[in-house]
């Protein structure tokens, strides 16, 4: 009895603190504002009719609130959960499964309150139980599990046709693909890429009917994304968790298991550079009776950046100008084109001033003929003395051509693809001074190609 009395006492205390006392204070405040004395208020509150009236108002208010909540939460409703991932339960070490949808849509039906709770639940999942199934084709049910029995559901699709294959493994040599090379600083080049492993294990189906048959894998590549390298200095950068992908012989991505699936890769970066001259190259012939006397440029040299093998073969950066029909001095604004393989240049445009003078010409004799592009198994012989030397006519202003010698001129024949035998081949000439025009007086020579 004492325990029961204590319980009732605590209940009365709760109502007194939470309901009666706040109401009393509220009434007293209102009375003060209206000029009513506290004694009158106490007399009014002590009347039984007043208490009945207050109780009635409270009861009606509580009833309305509870009734509205019951209406809101008891109405039946439906919710669609789209794109729910499907989890397959099977021995992943022994089998490969194909045909299982990656996601399904779940329609939930029940009261709004239950639906709200169900959507927040982390225990819900979509599963397909393949335990105990042998290799072959099977129709399986897709199940949705959730902790609330008051919720009904439907799955779309509810059934899937899957193929189960035995899993096999194979070792593949790992290669590297460089992605987004243009995002790397233009003054930098990749010298070497060193993945932490040289080979990986791929796992998949051995059956020829499988979509991702292991025998179709032609290569496995580490996809090194150079956009992830945030530096403008040379050195070694380690990229973490570089993904690996398998491809067939047509370059199509294949969905096979790769062990490991991600690796670390060390990327060695350098910044090779070389200073080379800018050579203005006139294109066309100047006006009759005129020749180029001088060419001056705002910049004479340029620093180029690129792979070392490209820089080793680069002797100059050409700057072409159109002088065809030119009869007076002229200033040219030239945008420099990057030679093939060059990534960056310190100078991208220059100004060239061309001055003209009166043209004259002279012949330079005994210019030896060079041989280019002949197969190393063969040698070449001229059939006469006139077939091993030529006379070259040079045309330009007197102050320029008067200084030229045969050492400044190169005459050559191109014998690429020639085999043993006798031939008549054209002679070409070129010189070191771009202000001069070079013409061989001998157009063709007779030669014999022999084995060494």
Please name the residues in contact with 274: beta carbons below 8 A apart, sequence gap of 6 or more.
Answer: 303, 304, 311, 314
Question: What is the C-alpha to C-alpha distance for residues 133 and 395, in angstroms, rounded to an integer?
Answer: 90
Mean predicted lDDT score pLDDT of the chain = 85
In the sheet that holds 421-426, the strands lie side by side as 378-382, 444-451, 421-426
More reliable by pLDDT, 55 or 366: 366
When pLDDT is averaged across residues 276-289 and rounded to a whole number, the result is: 92
Can you give the pLDDT at residue 73? 47
Residue with the two structure tokens 């001069």: 436
pLDDT over threshold 50, residue 389: yes
Tens of pLDDT, residues 184-222: 888 888 989 999 999 999 988 877 777 778 888 899 999
Can you give the pLDDT at residue 63? 65
When pLDDT is averaged across residues 349-355 and rounded to a whole number, the result is: 95
Tens of pLDDT, residues 123-142: 778 888 888 888 888 999 98
pLDDT over threshold 90, residue 148: no
Question: What is the C-alpha to C-alpha distance for residues 46 and 385, in angstroms, rounded to an integer?
Answer: 143
Can you give the pLDDT at residue 255? 86
Can you give the pLDDT at residue 209? 74
Residue 61 Rama label (left phi>0; alpha psi -120 to 50; beta): alpha
pLDDT over threshold 90, residue 244: yes
For residue 415, what pLDDT band results from cuts at 50, 70 and 90? very high
List, as one string, the DSSP characters of 18-70. Answer: IIIHHHHHHHHHHHHHHT--HHHHHHHHTSHHHHHHHHHHHHHHHHHHHHHHH
Can you give the pLDDT at residue 45? 57
When pLDDT is averaged across residues 356-384 and rounded to a whole number, the result is: 92
Dihedral (CA of 238, 239, 243, 247) sign: negative
Give the H or E element holding residue 244: strand 235-247
């Amino acid at each position: 009895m004492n325990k029961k009395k204590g319980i009732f006492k605590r209940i009365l205390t709760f109502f007194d603190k939470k309901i009666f006392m706040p109401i009393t204070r509220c009434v007293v405040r209102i009375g003060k504002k209206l000029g009513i004395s506290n004694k009158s208020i106490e007399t009014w509150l002590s009347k039984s009719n007043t208490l009945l009236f207050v109780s009635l108002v409270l009861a009606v208010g509580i009833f309305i609130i509870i009734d509205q909540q019951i209406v809101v939460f008891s109405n039946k409703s439906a919710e669609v959960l789209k794109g729910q991932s499907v989890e397959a339960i099977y021995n992943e070490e022994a089998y490969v499964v194909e045909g299982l949808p990656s996601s399904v849509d779940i329609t939930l039906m029940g009261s709004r309150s239950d639906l709200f709770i169900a959507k927040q639940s982390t225990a819900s999942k979509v599963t397909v139980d393949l335990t105990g199934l042998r290799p072959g084709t099977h129709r399986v049910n897709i199940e949705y599990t959730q902790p609330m029995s008051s919720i009904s559901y439907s799955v779309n699709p509810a059934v899937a046709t899957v193929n189960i294959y035995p899993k096999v493994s194979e070792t593949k040599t790992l290669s590297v693909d460089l992605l987004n090379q243009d995002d790397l600083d233009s003054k930098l080049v990749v010298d070497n890429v060193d993945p932490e492993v040289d080979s990986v294990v791929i796992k998949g189906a051995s059956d020829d009917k499988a979509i991702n048959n292991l025998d179709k894998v032609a290569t496995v590549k580490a996809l090194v994304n150079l956009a992830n390298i945030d530096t403008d200095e040379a050195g070694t950068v380690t990229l973490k968790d570089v993904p690996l992908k398998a491809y067939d012989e047509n370059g199509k991505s294949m969905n096979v298991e790769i062990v490991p699936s991600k690796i670390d890769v060390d990327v060695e970066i350098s910044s090779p550079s070389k200073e080379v001259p800018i050579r203005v190259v006139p294109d066309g012939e100047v006006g009759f009776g005129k020749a180029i006397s001088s060419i001056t440029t705002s910049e004479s040299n340029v620093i180029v950046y690129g792979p070392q093998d490209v820089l080793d073969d680069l002797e100059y950066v050409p700057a072409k100008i159109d002088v065809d029909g030119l009869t007076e001095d002229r200033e040219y604004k030239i945008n420099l084109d990057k030679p093939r393989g060059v990534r960056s240049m310190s100078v991208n445009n220059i100004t060239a001033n061309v001055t003209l003078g009166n043209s004259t010409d002279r012949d330079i004799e005994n210019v030896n003929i060079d041989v280019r592009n002949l197969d190393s198994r063969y040698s070449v012989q001229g059939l006469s003395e006139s077939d091993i030397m030529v006379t070259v006519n040079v045309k330009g202003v007197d102050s320029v051509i008067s200084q030229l010698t045969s050492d400044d001129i190169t005459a050559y024949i191109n014998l690429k693809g020639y085999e043993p035998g006798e031939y008549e081949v054209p002679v070409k000439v070129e010189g070191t001074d771009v202000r001069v025009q070079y013409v061989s007086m001998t157009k063709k020579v007779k030669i014999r190609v022999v084995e060494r």
